[in-house]
C-alpha cells in the first residue's frame, strides 16, 4: 500500500459527483482513497460500494464522520456503530465528547480538521487516543483558503498542535479534506507541504500519509477477519 488520501468528502446522493472525485484522484495518481459522505449516514450501502469499485482501479475505503457537540446526543448516536464495518470518526467542540470518544473502541479517529475544533485539542485527548490505538486527524484544507488573515491564523494553529502531537508521539493522520477538486494534490505534494511549511520531519510526514492510514485500515479489518474460520481468505 502506498500513499493514502484519508478524507475525500463526497455527496453519495450524486453518483456522478462521486465518480468525478474518484476520476480526479486517478488523474493525480492517487491509488488509495477513503471516501466520506458529506451528509450523515449510519451505514453505507454495500451495493453502492460495489457499484463504485467497478468503476475504478483505485482502492476505495469508507468512513463516516459523526459531528456532535452534545454528550447525550453522542451517547445516542454511537449505539448505531456497535457492529460497524467502516471507519468511524468524531468531530466535536465538546471536551466531554472528545474524551469519551477517545476512550470508545468504536471510534477510530478524533478529527481536528475544523479550525475551531483544532484549538480545543489537549494532551489528555492525545494520551487517551494512544491508549485506545485510535488516531488524531489534522487537515490541510484550512490553510488553502483565500482569506489571508484566516489562512495565517489557521496555519499558526495547525503548526502549534501538530508539533504538540509529534512531541507527545500521537497516532496521527494528515488528510486533505478538500471540498474543491482543484485544491487536490497528490499526497507526495502534501508531504512536501507538511515538511517545509509545518516543520514535520520528512519521515514523520510520510507516516501521516502512508503508515498510519495503513494501520487504520488494518485495524478496521481485524474484527471482520475474526468472524471467519482459520484458513478462509476474505476477498
What are the tens digits of pLDDT across the range 58-103? 999 999 999 999 999 999 999 999 989 999 999 999 999 999 999 9
pTM: 0.90
pLDDT value, residue 67: 96
Secondary structure (3-state) at 123 = helix
Asked whether residue 15 is assigned to any structural domain, the reply reads: no
In a domain, 168, yes or no: yes
Q: How confident is the model at residue 235 (pLDDT cuts 50, 70, 90)?
A: very low
| Contact of 109 with 173, CB cutoff 8 Å | yes
Number of domains in the chain: 1
Quick check: is 98 in a domain? yes
Q: What is the model's pLDDT at position 53? A: 95
Question: Does residue 25 belong to any structural domain of this protein?
Answer: no
Q: What CATH number is given to the structural domain containing 209?
A: 3.20.20.140
Identify whether 57 is part of a domain: no
Burial class (CB in 10 A: 0-12, 13-18, 19+), 169: exposed
Q: Over pLDDT 70: what percentage of the chain?
A: 94
Confidence band, pLDDT 50/70/90 cuts, at residue 222: low
Q: Check pLDDT > 80 for residue 226.
A: no
Sign of CA dihedral 113, 116, 119, 125: negative
Residue 205 has a pLDDT of: 94
Question: What's 234's DSSP letter?
Answer: P
Could you list the residue range(s) of the whole structural domain that residue 181 is in? 65-223
Average pLDDT across the chain, whole number: 90
Percent of the chain with pLDDT over 90: 79
What pLDDT score was predicted for residue 69?
96
The pLDDT of residue 185 is 86
Inside any domain, residue 178: yes
Which pLDDT score, from 0 to 100, does residue 86 have? Answer: 96
Higher pLDDT, 187 or 16: 16
Contact criterion met (CB below 8 Å) for 36 and 8: yes
- Convert the pLDDT of each residue in 121-159 to its tens digit: 999 999 999 999 999 999 999 998 888 999 999 999 999
pLDDT in tens, 186-215: 888 889 999 999 999 999 999 999 999 999
CA distance 217 to 221: 6
Higher pLDDT pick, 179 / 32: 32
Looking up cell 494501520, which residue turns up?
215
pLDDT of residue 42 exceeding 90, the answer is: no
Tell me, yes or no, whether 234 lies in a domain: no
Q: How far is CA 22 from CA 16, 34, 105, 124, 189, in A?
A: 10, 10, 30, 37, 18
Confidence of residue 41 (pLDDT cuts 50, 70, 90): confident
Neighbours of 136 (CB within 10 A): 24
> Does 6 map to a domain?
no
Amino acid at each position: 500500500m502506498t500513499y493514502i488520501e484519508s478524507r475525500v468528502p463526497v455527496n453519495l446522493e450524486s453518483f456522478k459527483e462521486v465518480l468525478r472525485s474518484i476520476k480526479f484522484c486517478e488523474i493525480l495518481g492517487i491509488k488509495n482513497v477513503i471516501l466520506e459522505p458529506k451528509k450523515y449516514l449510519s451505514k453505507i450501502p454495500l451495493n453502492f460500494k460495489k457499484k463504485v469499485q467497478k468503476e475504478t482501479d483505485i482502492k476505495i475505503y469508507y468512513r463516516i464522520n459523526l459531528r456532535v457537540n452534545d454528550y447525550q446526543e453522542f451517547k445516542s448516536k454511537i449505539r448505531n456503530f456497535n457492529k460497524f464495518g467502516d471507519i468511524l470518526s468524531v468531530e466535536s467542540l465538546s471536551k466531554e465528547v472528545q474524551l469519551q470518544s477517545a476512550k470508545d473502541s468504536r471510534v477510530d479517529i478524533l478529527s481536528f480538521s475544523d479550525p475551531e475544533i483544532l484549538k480545543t485539542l489537549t494532551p489528555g485527548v492525545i494520551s487517551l487516543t494512544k491508549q485506545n490505538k485510535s488516531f488524531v486527524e489534522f487537515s490541510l484544507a484550512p490553510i488553502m483558503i483565500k482569506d489571508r488573515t484566516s489562512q495565517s491564523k489557521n496555519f499558526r494553529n495547525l503548526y502549534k498542535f501538530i508539533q504538540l502531537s509529534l512531541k507527545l508521539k500521537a497516532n496521527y493522520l494528515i488528510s486533505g479534506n478538500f471540498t474543491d477538486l482543484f485544491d487536490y494534490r497528490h499526497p507526495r505534494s502534501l508531504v512536501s507541504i507538511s515538511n517545509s511549511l509545518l516543520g514535520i520531519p520528512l519521515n514523520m510526514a510520510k507516516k501521516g500519509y502512508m503508515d498510519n492510514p495503513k494501520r487504520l485500515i488494518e485495524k478496521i479489518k481485524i474484527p471482520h477477519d475474526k468472524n471467519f474460520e482459520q484458513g478462509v481468505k476474505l476477498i
